[in-house]
Structure formats: structure tokens, C-alpha cells
Amino acid sequence: MSNKKLKIGIIAAEHSGDRLGANLLTELKNLHEVEIFGIGGPEISSLGISAPDRINYQDLQVMGLIDPLLKLPKLLSIRKKLSKLFVDQKIDIFIGVDSPDFNMFFHKKLKGLGIKTVQVVSPSVWAWRENRIKAIGSQIDLTMCLFKFEHDYYLEKEMSSFFLGHPFSDLKPSILKDVLEKYQLNSFQDFICILPGSRKSEILYMMPIFIKAAEKIFAFNSNAFFLIPAANEDLKVLIQNTLEQTKLNYQLTSSAAKDYLSISKISIVTSGTASLESAVLGSLPIICYKTNPFNYAILSRMIKTPFIGLPNLLLQKHLFPELVQHELTPEAITHHYKNLYLDPHKYHSQIEEMNAAMQGKGFEEAAHLLLSL
């Protein structure tokens, strides 16, 4: 790589992807002078990014098969603006973080223009739609994997892969005393963390079920106190609206997931990165997922893995409970809560094994590799 300023294009639409992208860009900035173009969340934006006008990264947070169709005009408009930005600025490297269905368009187009392409977070080809592997091989110069089993999969396919590892491998719980003081909480209560997701659609699907489950849990354990961390202020308002009719004892705060999970023995969590964060911090997760029936009818026929939760995928065993679609009921959540509450010790021995499966080569080495492309 020459000494000229490096122009980086990046798309990081998810809350967790924003964090990953920011970590990688920070290491790149430590090694080389860079300009950043594209779209990201608050962490990437804090590094200085040139983005098209009137684009919000949350507009890209869609899931399933129905949401993208409903938002197709908006998504196509964003895609057009970002594509023009990358081409006009003559970027040197494009980095897509997660969101593979959206990012593959850019990998294909920009690779065709001679621009180096990198995907951070592997598309889940090991779980479903394995036919995507050919497109990944031809359109992406380097895939950065968060987990060793993904990296091994790519090596078996003789494809370019880097075992980045997951930042959660270094995650340590917050100190109990500090959290209690910070949020003015009572140490004698049994804390249960509720994480309904970082998308509006997830919250609308999951929170009504979680609230009913919480009410049943409180009937079993009157000492239960529910901690609800919202991913941001907008989602906090949405979650608060779902709680208007409940008499639960709870605290709702934005950007408090790590602190809340650190003091909660058990968590009720929408499947995704949050389930992994819960397990790493010692908050035993009940992993939940529900979408509309049409989405599920199609997706359930495509998925090859027996697990949906990241902790179970890493361990390759059904350790933590998973409740999917019709199995996800308040009664089922309450049942698994009682099991975890009465016998938590058998789960904690697995956390060290799970952490080992996340410890990769890290962002500094990843940045060096990007500069050598």
C-alpha cells in the first residue's frame, strides 16, 4: 500500500456491526491516513465519515423476507446514493459489515471496478443458502470471520478467510457494586435482563410475549426485578410504549446492556449478538425468536443447523434453551426460567470453552492484512 491517503468505503447497518466496523477503522487509522465514506452508526460516525445526505443507518435494519419488500423503494434509493458516493470518491477498499444481502450488491459492483472488497462477519452460508459460496468467492477478496467454525468452513472450501475473532472474547462483567450505585438498584432483588432486539420489528413481535412471561415469572418469584436495556433512545420510547399497561417492577435505560447483564443471573433475549453477550457475561440466556408466519415458513425450510443461538452454535450443543416461532410462549419462557433459576451451576462451566472459540487474531492484525491487499 502506498503512502497516499487511503479511501475506505464502509456499510455497517447493525448496532453490533457499527462496533465491529469502528474497531477495524480505528486500527486502520493508527497505521495509515484514511478517509471514510459510507454509512455507519454512532461509533463509526465518531471517527469522521462522509455520508450521503438524509440517510439514517437504521433505515437498513430490516429482517426476514417481508420487511425488505415493504421498504424496497427506500433501500434502493439508499443503495443508489451509496453506490454513487463510492464511485465518485474512487475508494480503494470497500468494507461491508454484516448485512450480506444488502452488501453483496456493492461487493459485485465495486469488485468489477477493480476495488478491493472485504466482508466483516461471514454470511451464514454454513447454516443456510450454501449456494451463495460461489458469489462470495468471486466477489469478495477477503472474508473476516468472528468464529473459528466459520473460518474452518471457508478453509475447507479453499477460500480467502481471516479469523478476526469476536470482541466479546475480551468482555468482562461490570462490577456489581458500581452497577447498583449507578442505576440506584437494590442488591436484594433477583435481576432478570430482557433484551427484545435492536430493530423496531423485533421489539413489536417480542415485547408483548416477554411482558406476559415476566408477569408469570414474578408470580413465581416475587423478588424478581426486570432490567431492560434499549439499544438507543428511539427504541427506548418504543419499548416504553409496550410497557404502559404492565405493573411489573422494571427499569428501562438506553445503552445499558453490559451493566444490566453483568448483574442478571438470567436473561430473556431475542436471538442475535445479544444472546452471546448474555452468556459471556454469565447471564444465562433464554434465546427467543419469532417472525411473521410467511417469513418462518420459508426460512425454516432453508436452515441447515439445529441451533439458532450463537452460544449453542459455538459450543455445537443445545446448552441454552431456544424457543422459536410457535414454541415461543410466555409459559415456555417461564418454564425455562425456573429450570435455570433452580440449577444454574451446570451452565457456567461451558463459558470458558465458548470464549476460546471466539479468540481470533484481532483487529490490529486485520488492519495490517487490509493494507496488504
Grid cell of 182 as nine digits: 449507578
Measured CA distances, 209 to 23, 25, 203, 231, 325 (Å): 35, 38, 10, 19, 11
Ordered strands of the 266-270 beta sheet = 250-254, 224-230, 190-195, 266-270, 284-289, 322-324
User: Can you identify the CATH homologous superfamily of domain 176-356?
Assistant: Glycogen Phosphorylase B; (3.40.50.2000)
- Answer CATH for 6-166+360-371 from 3.40.50.200, 3.90.1150.10, 3.40.50.300, 3.40.50.2000: 3.40.50.2000
pLDDT tens sequence across 42-92: 999 999 999 888 777 666 766 655 566 667 788 888 899 999 999 999 999
Domains 6-166+360-371 and 176-356 share a fold: yes
pLDDT tens sequence across 185-206: 999 999 999 999 988 888 998 9
- Residues 8 and 92 sit within 8 Å (Cβ to Cβ): yes
Q: How far is CA 38 from the centre of its chain?
A: 20
pLDDT of amino acid 55: 79
Under 8 Å CB-to-CB from 305, ≥6 apart: which residues? 126, 127, 128, 313
DSSP bridge pairs for 253: 229
- Residues 169 and 355 sit within 8 Å (Cβ to Cβ): yes
For the chain, domain boundaries: 6-166+360-371, 176-356
Under 8 Å CB-to-CB from 60, ≥6 apart: which residues? 11, 13, 39, 75, 78, 99, 102
Kind plus residue range of the DSSP H or E element containing 69: helix 66-70
Please tell me whether residue 92 adopts helix, strand or coil conformation. coil
pLDDT of amino acid 273: 87
> Which residues of the chain register pLDDT less than 70?
1-2, 57-59, 61-70, 124-131, 294-305
List the beta strands (DSSP E) in 181-308: 190-195, 224-230, 250-254, 266-270, 284-289
